[in-house]
Amino acid sequence: MQESIIKTEYSDLMQKSYIDYAMSVIVARALPDFRDGLKPVQRRVLYDMRELGTTSDKPYRKSARIVGDTMGKYHPHGDSSIYDALVVMAQGFKKEVPLIDGHGNFGNIEGDGAAAMRYTEARLQKITEDAFLADLDKDVVDFVPNFDETEKEPSVLPVRIPHFLVNGSEGIAVGMATSTPPHNLGEVLDAAVALLDNPEITDKKLMKYVKGPDFPTGGIIINADELPEIYETGTGKVRVRGRVAIEKGKGGHVLLVITEIPFTMIGQGIGKFLSDVAALSENKTTQDVIDITNQSSKEGIRIVIELKKDTDVENFKNMLYKKTRLEDTFGVNMLGIHDGRPETLSLKEILKANLDFQYDLNRRKYETLLKKEQDKREVQEGLIKACNVIDLIIEILRGSKERAQVKKCLVEGDVTGIKFKSKESKVMAQQLLFTERQADAILDMRLYKLIGLEIDALLKEHEETVANIYRYEDILEERASMTQVIRQELLDFKKKYAAPRKTEITQAEEAVFTIKEPEARDMLFVMDRFGYAKLLDEASLERNREAIEQDFVYYFPVKSNGKVCIFTNTGQLHTIKASDLPAAKLRDKGVPIDNVSNYNSGTETIVLATSQSDLNLYRLLFATAEGMVKVVDGGEFDVTRKTVAATKLSDKDEVAGVRVISGQQYAVFGTKEGYFLKCEIEQLPYMKKTAAGARGMKLSKGDRIEGVYVLHPSDSGQIRFHEKDLNIASLKVTGRGGKGSKLKK
């Protein structure tokens, strides 16, 4: 055989392969069909349960049996995906109308998963039998080969309700995702009837019936004004709040009780909500919470938040709406498979797609029923005719040798080989001319059928058959008649299965709340040489001045709602909220500065710590190790960010010191080699914090500034420098930029 090599562009091959893969995922895995509202795995599970006979009136079957059978016959993609689909269809807190009746642990609203499939059992719900699987024996849908062509499966289930809307769906495909909220069954059926009655009805008028999503978890939809656009476009965002009640607690405390949650909080969302409320207390956003407990049970949701007596409850509720998922957004994208392609449809288009499917189902159903009744009429007319000439037929039977001979006589009038009592009988036998089906029925008829009552019953049954034929022909020929049939079916389903709406729909203002600021108190910030900091009562300084001066490197007054500013040798400013520091006693350890700020004790050294309120009043003197100096307005460091650059540094340079100028007249810079320069502060350049500064002192090679001081004219000037006691007040005042002079002990 001659070898054939096909050359193709690699990118074209990859593109085609990826598109094929994407469409396979979109159509055969992730997206539901608008006709039955089911994904393939859901459709296969329900069909398999029907085939297994696990109907609502039969005992439960092990889920593992259902999953295994579905995987082996129809869905070879792993048991976990099949079991997950089965579980979700049985969870009443996820589905408006559960399709499967689960027995055992099928998970709960708080996120606990279902038990393993070997422990749980399931069977079909009654509505699933009536509305999803009822007419599969009437050739209403096409059957296609399964994955290995050993079985047949329906390409779509004959669903009699707009299930795509009723139970909604979520799925992620390749490059697209569907997210449809559940809706109230009664409302959707009313809308479908309205569309049947008036095909020109608009989406807006359909919303007279479909008010909006109806979540199994209840809740309150608060953006009613945006719903019309969502249903006209098929996309948008629904804002949902939990339902909150207020009760009286012990000791006059207020109990905020959450009885319904947003649909998006199903699962781990409840645990996240509890931790979020606790975090609001821990970070001092609110100080009204005494306790929070989750008292939810199978009877329903009950989350209780105990509040202080004087709590502004409305403000607290609004804070929960803004800061937690008690108010959340459900993204709507009503995407599904329509005519074999993924499309996003409006409310009317979704209902129309389902109703068009209903017309097709009913056409095929009544064609099958009509054919069945026509076959029945043919047999009945043959039996009635046979009863009128029963003596002749008996004569034919007695004169024949075999069944085939009798049948040929009845159908073709062939009397060859048959013995008759008279010529008249033979002539009459040649004129019978029954159909083959009639002849078989006559030959199979039992003698008791000749009883008078049986003949009367046959005549009555024939009348009913003829009436059915006329009715079925009318339904098939007159669209109005078929419309009436579909309409009545929808109304019957509503009467039998509809339930009251759970989710309230309203138009509410955006939640606004104010944070109650705690009353500011005067405190004393202290930090030891190991970087542990805390807040002391302001009076501690007077009572323990000596101990504080001895034990702490930094101590200064600060407001309890103020900030502490930490300047480091790397030119960074780290701010710390005083409220993040523990209010402690003198001998308590405190917390490392690293834990409450971005300061890193491993790579930085603190050159100044002060309160931000002081900075707003004064100026700051900056000096770097390489001799650059500047004066900066302290107000520039009133920042909201936790870390900002306090000055600009050249490579290998660092901040040698930062000093607060609160009326001092002189600045003194001391170097590693013992040179000191004293100058008037007013001679130093006044710059922005982003500037590098100007040359403040001339340094010898290898020398660097290590000490920065500010002095009043009356200050003694005694300092400790390189283990020596020096007096810098005696230094001669010179200009900026000199080398300075050495001080003797």
Supply the Cα-derived Rg of the chain in whole angstroms. 44
Beta-sheet strands, E only, within 552-651: 554-559, 563-568, 572-577, 591-592, 606-611, 619-624, 628-633, 643-645
**Are 164 and 183 a contacting pair, CB within 8 Å?**
no
Give the contacts of 3 (CB within 8 A, at least 6 positions apart).
Answer: none
Taking alpha carbons only, the member of 428, 422, 398 closest to residue 410 is 428
Distances (CA, A) of 459 to 376, 377, 410, 450: 12, 11, 21, 12
Calculate the CA dihedral of residues 193, 194, 198, 199 and round it to 10 degrees: -70
User: Scanning the structure block, which residue is given the tokens 């319904």?
Assistant: 260
Taking alpha carbons only, the member of 689, 691, 683, 701 closest to residue 737 is 683
**Are 641 and 558 a contacting pair, CB within 8 Å?**
no
Among residues 18, 21, 119, 686, the one annotated as catalytic is 119
Calculate the CA dihedral of residues 571, 574, 575, 579 and round it to 10 degrees: -150
Q: Where are the alpha helices (DSSP H) in 389-451?
A: 390-399, 403-412, 423-429, 436-444
Half-sphere exposure of residue 286: CA atoms within 13 angstroms, side-chain side: 28
Give yes or no: 555 in active site: no
Which two tokens mark 678?
């004293």
Q: Is residue 380 classed as helix, strand or coil in its secondary structure?
A: helix
Q: Mapped to the 3 state alphabet, what secondary structure does 138-205 carry?
A: HCCCCEEECCCCCCEEECCCCCCCCHHHHCCEEEECCCCEEEECCCCHHHHHHHHHHHHHCCCCCHHH
313-323 vs 269-282: helix axis angle to the nearest 10?
120
d(CA 463, CA 450) in angstroms, rounded, equals: 18
d(CA 606, CA 529) in angstroms, rounded, equals: 10
Where is 548: in which H helix or E strand? Answer: helix 545-551
d(CA 313, CA 249) in angstroms, rounded, equals: 14
User: Scanning the structure block, which residue is given the tokens 């007319």?
Assistant: 381
Q: Which residues are catalytic?
A: 119
